[in-house]
Amino acid sequence: MSPRRTDSGGLIDRLRTIRFTFDGAPYTGHAGDTLASALLANGVTVFGRSFKYHRPRGVLTSGVEEPNALVTVLRDEVREPNIAATMVEIYDGLTAVSQNRFPSLAWDLSAANQLGGRLLSAGFYYKTFMGPAIGPLKSTRFWMFCEHFIRRAAGLGRAGTAADTARYERMNAFCDVLVVGSGPAGLMAARA
């Protein structure tokens, strides 16, 4: 039992131990744990890095609104990026990796962005790399070169290239008249 866990309470089954990996390191949790709760119980507090300055980020909330603890879940050849760790229920063999870090979560080279913080004001990339209409930086040629690096630093996970073999449910709903708004045309359509 982890010293960070209570002996009773909660919605987990303490009798069933589940093994999973996060960033290549093996961890254990219990049935009913989310990835976030299992990692917190194992002493992991940093789940990702912030967008611009790559500052360490941990869990902020307990549900779908979690903005910091975004992970990529790997299943065979399928990558599922940008999943809140608070919404992933652990299972045996789960493999998850953190996002927005290089080479590792503990040692991120892009954290050096903090040193040039005054140069990287909010929205610095909107007009900074736009060149004049004439000359060597002709129009947006320089921007197209820089855009590749700026997008890679945006902090979201990489989408997988393999086909997703999972099956998803769907429902098609139809209606004769759909009324949007309460103007004269909408009121007449609703009355008809």
Q: Give the model confidence (pLDDT) of 115-134 as tens digits.
A: 666 666 666 666 666 666 66
- For residue 6, tell me if it sits in a domain: no
Question: What percent of the chain has pLDDT above 90?
Answer: 34
- Domain CATH number, residue 84: 3.10.20.440
pLDDT at 46: 93
Number of structural domains, the chain?
A: 1
- Report yes or no: 24 and 84 within 8 Å, Cβ to Cβ: no
DSSP state at residue 178: -
- What is the CB-side half-sphere exposure of residue 85 using CA atoms within 13 A? 28
pLDDT over 70 (residue 138): no
The residue among 192 and 184 whose pLDDT is bigger is 184
Range of the domain at 137: 13-191
Burial of 30 (0-12, 13-18, 19+ CB in 10 A): buried
2 assigned to some structural domain: no
Residue 8 lies in a domain: no
Residue 148 three-state SS:
helix
Residue 117 domain-assigned (yes or no): yes
Q: What is the dihedral of CA 179, 182, 186, 189, to 10 degrees?
A: 80
